[in-house]
Structure 1
Amino acid sequence: MPAYKRILLKLSGEALMGDDAFGINRSTIVRIVEEVAEVTRLGVEVAVVIGGGNIFRGVAGGSVGMDRATADYMGMLATVMNSLALGDAFEKVGVKARVMSAIAIDQVVEPYVRPKALQYLEEGKVVVFAAGTGNPFFTTDTAAALRGAEIGAAIVLKATKVDGIYTADPKKDPAATLYSSISFDEAITRQLEVMDATAFALCRDQKLPIKVFSIFKPGALRRVVMGADEGTLVHV
């Protein structure tokens, strides 16, 4: 039996790039979607929040000197593009998915309404939350913490390129060791950059644990939802 009935999966936009400089690598998105599809077949209810860095990276040069709020709204639109791509990829592998946006784009995607999102999850659909929180100055990490709390997720799964949180950058320090678990207070004090402090604080206050793991390790997502010793657990 899965260890978690309902999860919030946080993906970075960069996770979709594969080896490309920016944009969406089709084989990469298909592989990630297939990993998620596998856990849905176990009966796990899955919601997803994705960043927009892979899309926004292509226009980042033009954002230099731009008003922060304007740049953040552009980033939200980038997450909508990624969310639509994810939703389409889920449908292609036979998984029903719904994309819900925190900003109104009714002709493209339905608005985020909490009771509707809960209904979709209970029906076994994957729900992809687009446009972050709908507000500038808040990251998609914070959006993941917020949506995770709102839908009653058992855990937030932060999918990264590394297999957890290390004492130092493992690429720069061969002696760096992996934390199997760490408290929210220690993560905030140490200024660990795996998630922003606002997201850590929100999850801490809601007693919502975070698991940091590598989405690029085959089967890692399944192992996490089954309760295996994978990645780093951030807890109260």
Structure 2
Amino acid sequence: MSINPTSASSPVPEHIAIIMDGNRRWAKQHGLPVALGHANGARQVRKIVQACANRGVRYLTLFAFSTENWRRPQDEVSSLMGLMTLYLQKEVKAMSAKGVRLKIVGDTAGFSERIQSLIIDAQEKTAHNNTITLTIAANYGGRWDLLEAIKSWQSAHPGESVNGLDEATLSTHLGLAYAPDPDLLIRTGGESRISNFMLWQLAYTELFFTDTLWPSFNAAELDRSLAWYSTRERRFGGSSKP
């Protein structure tokens, strides 16, 4: 089936989540160090945030660094931390001017004090923006999110039995409680798995997998995923339309 570019009448996802995969392979293909692959991937973020905002997407969540990524070579982890520091320092003013609200979700206590301070500052400075909410999932894992939500609920209800906990209540304790569940998940880089990303929230999300490596993922590729999304019939466990 051919997929045509999305049109103005096509449904636009309220919330898109992206697993940004392929930076290292892109660097290898271009004969560059891994660090430059990640740097080129980081440069795509601003373009895709703007492209999503232009198309009416209200929430964009990017999987930037998982709880498992600490196992990568130390020099690669160090370069990723450097990129995160640079992004938080350089992008906040530009994001705020475009109406981007920045949120960071994950175990931020695992980062340096400098990065933690930059995270707090960036979130405070963009808190009033409402064009699009950009969430960066950093030191994040879906299993971690669920465990933290249960701990948070227990802390708020000391002495109460877990039998009093239901899905709606647990959802309010998740890291992305401020956002609707994603309508569309995009994973770049040719892999077809969700890699411990938003395990609770992706229950009824449409999953789009593309071979395009993240540093090459552009507005045209975004439109291709949106056009595919527009062909989906979302039933949420119900029956097809008559």
Please give the TM-score of this superposition, normalised by the length of structure 2: 0.50
Matches within 5 A, 1:211-230: 211-213=208-210, 214=212, 215=214, 216-218=216-218, 219-227=220-228
Q: Given that residues 44 and 217 in structure 2 are in contact (C-alpha distance below 8 angstroms), is that contact kept between their aligned partners in structure 1?
A: no
Q: Distance in 2 between matches of 1:128 and 1:81?
A: 15
Q: Distance in 2 between matches of 1:123 and 1:36?
A: 11
Q: 1:159 aligns to what?
A: 187
Q: Given that residues 20 and 64 in structure 2 are in contact (C-alpha distance below 8 angstroms), is that contact kept between their aligned partners in structure 1?
A: yes
Please give the TM-score of this superposition, normalised by the length of structure 1: 0.51
Q: Distance in 2 between matches of 1:30 and 1:80?
A: 15
Higher mean C-alpha displacement, 90-99 vs 206-215:
90-99
Q: 2:35 aligns to what?
A: 23
Q: Give 2:74's aligned amino acid.
A: V
Change (3 A) 1:37 1:79: same
Matches within 5 A, 1:163-202: 165=192, 194-196=193-195, 202=200
Q: Give 1:49's aligned amino acid.
A: F
How far is the alpha carbon of 1:128 from its aligned partner? 1.6
Q: Given that residues 182 and 201 in structure 2 are in contact (C-alpha distance below 8 angstroms), is that contact kept between their aligned partners in structure 1?
A: no
Q: Does 1:44 align with 2:57?
A: yes
How far is the alpha carbon of 1:132 from its aligned partner? 0.8
Higher mean C-alpha displacement, 213-222 vs 2-11:
213-222
How far is the alpha carbon of 1:100 from its aligned partner? 1.7
SS in 2 for 1:51: strand
Q: Given that residues 156 and 211 in structure 1 are in contact (C-alpha distance below 8 angstroms), is that contact kept between their aligned partners in structure 2?
A: yes
Q: 1:208 aligns to what?
A: 205
How far is the alpha carbon of 1:57 from its aligned partner? 4.0
How far is the alpha carbon of 1:58 from its aligned partner? 4.0
Q: 1:132 aligns to what?
A: 140
Change (3 A) 1:201 1:78: same
Q: Distance in 2 between matches of 1:120 and 1:223?
A: 31
SS in 1 for 2:34: coil
Q: 1:98 is matched with which residue: 99, 102, 107?
A: 102
Q: Give 1:9's aligned amino acid.
A: I
Q: Given that residues 18 and 63 in structure 2 are in contact (C-alpha distance below 8 angstroms), is that contact kept between their aligned partners in structure 1?
A: yes
Q: Give 1:208's aligned amino acid.
A: T
Unaligned runs of 5+ in 2: 1-7, 147-173, 238-242
Q: Given that residues 16 and 184 in structure 2 are in contact (C-alpha distance below 8 angstroms), is that contact kept between their aligned partners in structure 1?
A: yes
1:151-203 deviation digits (Å, cap 9, x = unpaired)? 223335233223x75xxxxxxxxxxxxxxxxxxxxxxxxxxxx334x559645
Instruction: Select the structure of larger CA radius of gyration.
Output: 2
Change (3 A) 1:92 1:147: same
Q: Distance in 2 between matches of 1:109 and 1:35?
A: 21
Change (3 A) 1:44 1:154: same
Report which structure shows greater RCO (CA 8 Å, sep ≥6): 2
Aligned pair count reads 177
